[in-house]
Amino acid sequence: MSIGEELAVTAATGIASINIGGKTLHSWAGVGLGQEETKDLLLDIVSSSKRRRSRDGKRKRPLSPWERWKTVRTLIVDEISMIDGTLLDKTSSLASCENANIYRLGAFSALRRFLPATSRPGTRRE
């Protein structure tokens, strides 16, 4: 999910993404399972953006993954500790791509803040 197309809210799992009103990082980034090499992921992402427009150039669908990469300035990832380090490296490489809007960062600048799990009122956390 993008808020104003500059802030993307993602999560590691589908359930977590539903809870925060976002998408999974895999879906938002357009990497699927993320098993391919970074250069192949990039080619797939860029080529998918070309299929998203009609002949008259008007947008037919929501932003393609490449368009999302180009417009995002802040990427929030809930439950980031559940994401494989290799996938984080690949998404960092995609973010630092020359045509992505956040390339000037060179890589993800991560701010990690671990909050305690929530509990229901009247229940006790161990």
Report pLDDT digits (tens) over 9-32.
899 999 999 999 999 999 999 998
User: How many whole angstroms separate alpha carbon 120 and alpha carbon 70?
Assistant: 40
Instruction: Return the domain boundaries, the chain.
Output: 2-105
Q: pLDDT digits over 94-124, tens only?
A: 887 755 554 443 444 555 555 556 666 666 6
Q: Does residue 80 carry a pLDDT above 80?
A: yes
Mean pLDDT score of the chain, rounded to an integer? 75
pLDDT of residue 23: 92
Task: Work out the percent of the chain whose per-residue pLDDT is above 70.
Answer: 63
The answer to pTM > 0.75 is no
- Among 101, 7, 94, 105, residue whose Cα is nearest residue 44: 94
d(CA 22, CA 44): 22
